[in-house]
Amino acid sequence: MGKAGGSCQNSICVCRKKTFKDLWDERFG
C-alpha cells in the first residue's frame, strides 16, 4: 500500500500529507 510522499513503518503506511486518522478513515472508515 505504497503512496507517493509516504513511507511504510512496521507494516503501517504513513502519509506525510495526511494524519493517521485520515488514513485510518480511508482504509476502515
Cβ contact 1:14 at 8 Å: no
> H-helix or E-strand containing 6?
strand 6-9
Cβ contact 19:12 at 8 Å: no
5-22 pLDDT per residue, tens: 556 666 666 656 667 787
Q: What is the pTM of this model?
A: 0.33
Tell which wins on pLDDT, 17 or 25: 25
Residue 21 in grid coordinates: 486518522
Q: Could you give the CA distance from residue 2 to residue 12 in angstroms, rounded to a whole number? A: 10
Q: Could you give the CA distance from residue 29 to residue 10 in angstroms, rounded to a whole number? A: 21
